[in-house]
Amino acid sequence: MPETKTEQRSVRALPLVGAPVADAIKREVAAEAAGLKAAGVVPCLATVLVGDDPASAVYVRNKVRACEELGLLSERYDLPAGTTMDELLALVRSLNAREEVDGILVQLPLPRGTDEARVLDAIDPAKDVDGFHPVNVGRLSLGQPSLVPCTPAGVIELLARAGVEMRGAHACVVGRSNIVGRPAAQLLLQQDATVTVCHSRTRDLCSVTREADILVAAAGRIGLVRGEHIKPGATVIDVGVNKLDDENLARELFEGEEAERRVEIIRRRGFTLVGDVHPAEAAAVAGRLTPVPGGVGLLTIAMLMRNTLKAAKRRVNGDG
């Protein structure tokens, strides 16, 4: 039977924050990029933004800034929302053909009516730093070297650098998206974890997730994973990024000063970012817990930079 709140452990979960790991990865990338530059090679990332979605513009700006900070070149292509498929595909093909461009990132989502799959398939797999091309997806599933989706790769880095034992552990991934859930499961398998993938059709979700030593929540649903879903002492990785505009729900998810801080953010900005895990309940049961924001999300750009560096190294000498 699930523990009641009075039966839950009095020890609070240790926060598993992303900033130190992201900073360490960025330092490593900067050092390697400097070495390549000394040999006359500068890794280059080309970002393509179609339309005027504000969130997408912020993401692209952050990626360009990261390149500048780490000594990578960046090329940014801002296209109007009315850009045709032929025009977009022509740009992708031109970037494929340029040897000095190591990574190509087409920012998603694309405007309605654009065939995203066709655009992503057009990217050279060797330059697919998002890791979404079918060739890279296939290589990942076979355990072969590939460019891996950045957020799942960040999950593995966070676990590894925090000293969380994955070999032999039971890992459960809640969510089966091609962007996070499926690749996260594949990467955990490669770390010799025993992996279960849950989704919206999983029967008795609690009975499955409570067996997990490592629980990865990536379903896109606010507060889906509650205390009753978590094995006492488990490591819980919350990949969800959801906008919450309900003050009452914010007070239910958080406790004390944090609840009031979140309510104030909602009043000021209109929303606050929360994950797929109920933070107050999870903190009373889990051993380690990533915050949202401040957890896995901080690693995504760091891993993108590392993928760009990896693509450049392969261009130069087949390494990486």
Question: 142 pLDDT exceeds 60?
Answer: yes
CATH number at 38-131: 3.40.50.10860
Q: Per the residue annotation, which of 63, 127, 231, 310 is the catalytic one?
A: 63
Q: Is 63 a catalytic residue?
A: yes
The β-bridge relationship of strands 235-238 and 272-274 is: unpaired
Which ranges constitute the DSSP H helices of the chain? 19-38, 54-70, 85-97, 116-122, 134-141, 150-161, 181-190, 205-209, 247-253, 256-269, 279-283, 297-317
Question: 41 pLDDT exceeds 90?
Answer: yes
Measured in whole angstroms, the distance separating CA 16 from the mean position of its chain's CA atoms is 15
CATH number at 149-240+275-300: 3.40.50.720
Looking at residue 161, its pLDDT comes to: 97
Q: Which tens digits make up the pLDDT trace of 303-313?
A: 999 999 999 99
For the beta sheet containing 288-289, the strands, ordered from the edge strand earlier in sequence to the opposite edge, are 14-15, 288-289, 235-238, 214-217, 170-174, 194-198
Q: Which tens digits make up the pLDDT trace of 168-210?
A: 999 999 999 999 999 999 999 999 999 999 999 999 999 999 9
Grouping H, G, I as helix, E, B as strand and the rest as coil, residue 123 is coil
Q: Which pair of tokens denotes residue 304?
A: 């993108």
Q: Are 235 and 217 in contact (CB under 8 A)?
A: no
Looking at residue 5, its pLDDT comes to: 42
pTM of the predicted structure, to 2 decimals = 0.93
Q: Is 144 a catalytic residue?
A: no
Q: CATH 3.40.50.720 in the chain: give the residue spans.
A: 149-240+275-300
Q: Per the residue annotation, which of 26, 102, 127, 130 is the catalytic one?
A: 130
The pLDDT of 151-155, averaged and rounded, is 98
How many CB atoms are closer than 10 A to CB 56? 16
Q: Per the residue annotation, which of 26, 107, 213, 276 is the catalytic one?
A: 107
Q: CATH 3.40.50.10860 in the chain: give the residue spans.
A: 38-131
How many CB atoms are closer than 10 A to CB 42? 15
Q: Which tens digits make up the pLDDT trace of 283-299?
A: 999 999 999 999 999 99
Tokens 């029967």, residue? 203
Q: Which tens digits make up the pLDDT trace of 199-252?
A: 999 999 999 999 999 999 999 999 999 999 999 999 999 999 999 999 999 999
The pLDDT of 40-50, averaged and rounded, is 97
Instruction: Count Cβ neighbours within 10 Å for each residue of 176-215 and write b for 16 or more, e otherwise.
Output: beebbbbbbbbbbeebebbbbbbeeebeebeebbbebbbb
Looking at residue 184, its pLDDT comes to: 98
Looking at residue 10, its pLDDT comes to: 52
User: Identity (one letter) of the amino acid at 95?
Assistant: L
Instruction: Tell me which residue of 116, 153, 111, 136 sits closest to 296, measured CA to CA.
Output: 153
